[in-house]
Structure 1
Amino acid sequence: MPSQTFAIGELAREFDLTTRAIRFYEDMGLLAPARAGQQRVYSARDRTRLMLTLRAKRLGLKLTEVKEILDMYDSPRDTAVQLQRFLGVLGEHRAQLEARLAELQANIAEVRAQEKQARAALTRATRPRAR
Structure 2
Amino acid sequence: MSVQYTITELAREFDVTPRAIRFYEDQGLLSPSREGSSGLRRVYSARDRTRLKLTLRGKRLGFTLSEIRDLLDLYDSPTDTAAQLQAFLATLARHREVLERQREDLNATLEDLAQYEAQARALLERDANATERT
TM-score by length of 2: 0.93
Q: 2:104 aligns with which of 79, 82, 102?
A: 102
* Count of matched residue pairs: 130
Distance 1:80 1:17 in 2: 32
Which blocks of at least 5 consecutive residues in structure 2 are unaligned? Answer: none
**Alpha-carbon deviations, 1:5-64, whole Å to 9, x = none?**
001111111111111100000011100101112200000010010001001100111110
Correspondence for 2:40 = 38
Correspondence for 2:81 = 79
Distance 2:125 2:132 in 1: 12
CA positional deviation for 1:99: 0.3
Query: Aligned runs of 1:1-131 on 2, under 5 Å?
Result: 2-36=1-35, 37-127=39-129, 128=131, 130=133
- Please provide the CA RMSD for this pair: 1.1
Which blocks of at least 5 consecutive residues in structure 1 are unaligned? Answer: none
CA positional deviation for 1:77: 1.2
Distance 1:3 1:107 in 2: 53
CA positional deviation for 1:130: 4.3
Distance 1:3 1:130 in 2: 84
Alignment-mate amino acid for residue 54 of structure 1: L
Percent identical: 56
Distance 1:41 1:49 in 2: 14
Alignment-mate amino acid for residue 122 of structure 1: L
**4+ residue runs of structure 1 moved beyond 2 angstroms?**
128-131
